[in-house]
Amino acid sequence: APGAQRFIPPRADTIDELRAAATSCQGCELYRDASQTVFGRGGADARVVLVGEQPGDLEDQKGLPFVGPAGRLLRRAVDDAGLDPTGLYLTNAVKHFRFELRGRRRIHQTPDRVHITACRPWLVAEFARLRPEIVVVLGATAAKALLGPAFRVTRQRGELLPWPASAEHPEDFTRVPVDSAGGVADAPPARLLATIHPSAVLRADNQDIAYQGLVADLTIAARALA
């Protein structure tokens, strides 16, 4: 069957074990042209998980999420929102870079539903290990992965939503086994907040207003933690 699930070792108890296993994922076609899997990064005790779309060109080369221009903007916004950067885990809905070659340039292509669905087991596995208090969904692709295709970021951004927020994706990661002995977390359910993607800020006609909107949404997450 397609999808990442069969590449996830049932005994991978930690994020590091998941990351190691993800290097050889062939759950969809995207591994063929990309340089490497770009897994999430951040502390195992992170209280907040930020979910982007997919690695960009630079992330694909470096093997780390959010190291390019969007990542720089995101870090500034996190700081301005008063979120503790050491309590964050950054990841993506899709873990390989999807692009189109134009000459020698690699042009970003939005992942399709098949890629989002194929890669989703990695995201669920990350959540199960991390058990964050708040999941921040950055943009439409991550929203599709976690909230289903009907969710509109523009309409519901900045609202703290209960998890699981979608009938289409009802898994409650607080009840997914977190160790190979079948242990189940007793953490309270996480909450979820959607906002725009930092790349959308970089593309906006008025970058200042778009940036302030991103910071305002992240501030709601920061206050919810306090």
Q: Does 36 bind ligand SF4 (CB under 6 A)?
A: no
Q: Which residue has the tokens 């309590």?
A: 87
Q: Nearer Cβ to ligand SF4, position 29 or 80?
A: 29
Q: Give the one entry of ligand URA, ligand SF4, none that residue 30 binds, where binding means its C-beta sits below a cut-off of 5 to 8 angstroms depending on kind.
A: ligand SF4
Which residue from 116, 97, 93 is spatially nearest to 107, judged by alpha carbons?
Answer: 97
Q: Does 15 bind ligand SF4 (CB under 6 A)?
A: no
| Integer Cα distance of 214 and 219 in angstroms | 9
Q: Does 118 bind ligand SF4 (CB under 6 A)?
A: yes
Q: Which residues contact 15 (CB under 8 A, 6 or more apart)?
A: 40, 44, 89, 126, 129, 130
Q: Nearer Cβ to ligand URA, position 39 or 127?
A: 39
| Integer Cα distance of 29 and 202 in angstroms | 29
User: Dihedral, CA atoms, 204, 210, 211, 214, nearest 10 degrees?
Assistant: -120
Applying CB under 6 A, which part among 23-31, 50-58, 172-180, 203-211 lies near ligand URA? 50-58
Q: Give the one entry of ligand URA, ligand SF4, none that residue 55 binds, where binding means its C-beta sits below a cut-off of 5 to 8 angstroms depending on kind.
A: ligand URA
Other CB atoms closer than 10 Å to residue 48's CB: what's the count? 26
Q: Nearer Cβ to ligand URA, position 94 or 215?
A: 94
Among 40, 52, 111, 132, which residue interacts with ligand URA (rule: CB under 6 A)? 52
Q: Does 125 bind ligand SF4 (CB under 6 A)?
A: no
Tell me how many residues contact ligand SF4 (CB under 6 A): 16
Q: Does 68 bind ligand URA (CB under 6 A)?
A: yes
Q: Does 8 bind ligand SF4 (CB under 6 A)?
A: no
Kindly state the tokens that stand for 79.
């700081």
Q: Does 126 bind ligand URA (CB under 6 A)?
A: no
Which residue from 126, 186, 177 is spatially nearest to 11, judged by alpha carbons?
Answer: 177
Q: Does 4 bind ligand SF4 (CB under 6 A)?
A: yes
What does the angle CA 190 – CA 78 – CA 151 come to, to the nearest 5 degrees? 50
Would you tell me which residues interact with ligand SF4 (CB under 6 A)? Answer: 4, 22, 25-28, 30-31, 37, 94-96, 115, 118-119, 122
